[in-house]
Amino acid sequence: MALVQNAPSNLNSVKRQKTAAAPSAPSQLLRFEGHLHLRQRLVLATISGRPVRIDKIRLADDEYPGLADYEVSFLRLMEKVTNGSTLEISYTGTSLLYKPGVITGGKISHDCPNSRAIGYFLEPMIALAPFAKVPFHLTLNGITNDNVDICVDTLRTVTLPTLAKFLPTVESQIPLDLKITKRGAPPSGGGQILFQCPAIKSLKAGVTLTDPGLGVKRIRGIAYATRISPQMANRVVDAARSLLSRYIPDVYLYTDVYKGAESGKGPGYGVSLVAETTTSVLYSSECAYQPRKKAVQEVLKEGDEIPGLSLGTGAIETKENGDDDDEQVVGAAAKPPASTATQEGILGHLQNDYTFPTPEDLGIRAARLLLTEIRKGGCVDSVSQWLAILMLALSPEDVGKVRVGTLTPMSVQYLRDLKQFLGVVFKIAEEPAEDPVDEEGNTRYTSLKGGVVLTCLGTGYVNVNKNVT
């Protein structure tokens, strides 16, 4: 793949191309607008072999129009994992034309910018890796954990097991694995991971994931600390365990402290939690520490109004009752956002969702997010919905089903894009009502309403790039 800058008026002019020719496009060019969902559209274009053109990329942004640095870096990564692809970018960076090539795989190394975490770049690679010509050996350097992109721990413990359910049993020396060799906290990064995936010919046929089990049987987690006191990770573990142990006794949270060269370039700590049901369904949550913004502390003072603030569950608001002032805890449904900054300790926490005043707050937040994810139900985690949907669409020509909780906005857009790229249409039905009591008279766990069952007929996708041995 080659990145070529052309005048906006002539996007189809001179371009550089690798020696290997790209496969012929089976159909006409697809057109999209905007920078949203850029990664998934490039992934679907590569798998389907259909060229795609994206226009009006941040066209209304006067300060930073066009592609961002992390998007350009992702395009460079696509260049490394494919052969024969061509990519044309306008001078302003607001338009691009992508013609896919062959997914080659092999040993690849890439440096991710510190503006986005490694998870931003690794997620699409997990979808492409099984359909490569040779097994993947991908090394990524950058930030391993933050609160913007999915962390590498969740990818290792939840996303990869979800992918493994769709892969056939093959005798390969290359396992499906993700190793974290170095931790890298924002904003400096310095982390490193190694992702390995075998190349397959086709996926399993007729995969059905509709049984979430009778409930959660165990909870596991890992709290890490880099270039900071190990006590921070211990405090996070104690806080998260204190909340989760109220619901289930089998809770084990481990600490992982990095020192020296393996600890990256900056201090940080965080936690990743995973709950497993009786049918091996995995739910996850994560939280990571990020330094509080100094600008927030300087601007907000005692009694200042916090503009555009929506109080969440557990937020502190000061109300007047007669002559006395007292603090009351209000929930998300309480009336509104016109609050005043009354405590210095919560200023940054309320203004910036990615900052937690203490390690205990971070641990409690991660535990509550996990409980919320469990309550949603389904047979795949929210962060892995898109992968299950994509694998069902690419599976052999057989009916596949997956039961999910509330569809995420990314999953909804994925369903739309799959129809345009692959012509796959899913049948969406409400999840069946469950009897609250099982056959033995025990109370059965029931999820929130809003879950759906997705059903489709696979396209019978075959990896023609794989070497035959």
Q: In the sheet where 136-142 sits, what is the strand order?
A: 106-111, 136-142, 191-197, 177-182
pTM, rounded to two decimals: 0.81
DSSP 14: -
Is residue 239 included in any domain, yes or no?
yes
CATH code for the domain in which residue 143 is found: 3.65.10.20
Report yes or no on 310 lying in a domain: no
Sign (positive or negative) of CA dihedral 234, 236, 238, 241? negative
Query: What CA–CA distances, in Å, run from 422 to 28, 45, 188, 400, 457?
Result: 12, 9, 40, 16, 12
Is position 132 within any domain? yes
Please list the residues that pair with 317 across neighbouring strands. Answer: 328
The verdict on residue 212 lying in a domain is: yes
Residue 48: CA count within 13 A, CB half-sphere: 26
Q: What is the pLDDT of residue 295?
A: 40
Residue 306, domain member (yes or no): no
In a domain, 95, yes or no: no
Domain that holds residue 409: 104-293+358-457
5 in a structural domain: no
* Per-residue pLDDT at 213: 87
Task: Record the tokens describing residue 360, joined without a space.
Answer: 């205990």
pLDDT the model gives residue 438: 61
Q: Residue 237 falls within a domain, yes or no?
A: yes
Q: What is the pLDDT of residue 385?
A: 95
pLDDT tens for the 469 residues of the chain, in order:
555 444 343 333 323 333 233 334 446 899 999 999 999 999 999 999 999 999 999 998 888 899 999 999 999 999 999 999 999 999 999 999 999 999 999 999 999 999 999 999 999 999 999 999 999 999 999 999 998 999 999 999 999 999 999 999 876 778 999 999 999 998 889 999 999 999 999 999 999 999 998 889 999 999 999 999 999 999 999 999 999 999 999 999 999 998 888 899 989 999 999 999 999 999 999 999 876 554 433 333 344 443 433 333 333 333 434 444 443 433 333 333 333 333 333 333 333 345 678 999 999 999 999 999 999 989 999 999 999 999 999 999 999 999 999 899 999 999 999 999 999 999 999 877 666 666 666 665 556 666 899 999 999 999 988 766 5
Predicted pLDDT of residue 261 = 85
- How many structural domains are present in the chain? 1
In angstroms, the CA 6 to CA 188 distance is: 33
108's enclosing H/E stretch is strand 106-111
pLDDT at 79: 92
Question: Which two tokens mark 219?
Answer: 């909870």
At residue 23, the pLDDT reads: 39
Q: What is the pLDDT of residue 333?
A: 34
CA–CA dist 314, 454 (Å, integer): 35
DSSP three-state, residue 323:
coil
- For the chain, what is the radius of gyration of the CA atoms? 24
In whole angstroms, how far apart are CA 34 and each of 31, 74, 265? Answer: 10, 16, 34
